[in-house]
Amino acid sequence: MRRTLKITLAYDGTRFVGWQRQAEGESIQGLLEDALAKFEGGPVTAHGAGRTDAGVHARGQVASAAVSFPYPVDTLVRALNAHLPEDIRVLEVADAPADFHARFSARSKTYRYQIRAGSVGDPFTRAFVWQLAERLDVAAMREAAAKLIGTHDFAAFQSAGTETSTTIRTITRSDIVLGGADVLGGADASGPRTTDSRALMAYEIAGDGFLRHMVRAIVGTLVEIGRGWRPPASMAQLVDGGTRAEAGATAPPHGLCLVRVDYD
């Protein structure tokens, strides 16, 4: 009898080619599918809620997979982890409705991008934080970030050459948080806020969907605003007919983490 599994994972994406299986290199999807195949006795396809890029991390990635084996979900958590490398961990396995799909059933995703502004970096967080030498204008970044909340056209933040049916997305949260979060976002983002631009800061964004490299392009634009290279008002102009060439550079992947995926 077929069953659909909902699998929640965390991973350090540093050495992987991303979520999606590639012709070369190790992917999260490929390793998870290989682990599931050991219990299925044949190929298994795992669908991810978010196709995280090479070097991007996750604390709450969700995958769905249709399988036939009868093993209890608690047993599967331990068994799958035994067949996965230590930088990928299955956090939870649950039986889901037959029509559940990790990507298409998702209602909201939350990402966090971490930045540290200061002349001296932290060697223990370097794989998860974008280190910048100069201070940033946090107030200007927050003002700009707030302009993304709502339903807008995010074409200016989509990678050039990407094909998609629509670039309209609805964003429910867009904010800069200082303090109160650990490296990969284990603490609640409502922690203490300060105006100390030397602190570890996190850009939090939640919405119904994201374009390819969208969060990293937003972060790159916010950093340019924080540096004083462009005014906060430019963010509103970018979601009102702006082009990719008019937005900021794409931030490096290692500061980004998929924190949570929400379903009905």
**Looking at the annotation, which residues are catalytic?**
53
**Residues forming a β-bridge with 176:** 203
Tokens 């070097």 correspond to: 55
Cα gap 192→117, rounded to integer Å: 17
**Residues forming a β-bridge with 150:** 171
The answer to whether 223 and 193 are in contact (CB under 8 A) is: no
The distance of Cα 63 from the centroid of its chain, to the nearest Å, equals 14
**Residues forming a β-bridge with 46:** 65
Tokens 């230590």 correspond to: 86
Kindly list the distances between the CA atom of residue 214 and the CA atoms of 35, 105, 166, 167, 250, in Å, as whole numbers in the listed order.
Answer: 31, 20, 13, 10, 8
At residue 21, φ and ψ (nearest 5 deg) are -60, 135
Sign of CA dihedral 214, 219, 222, 227: negative
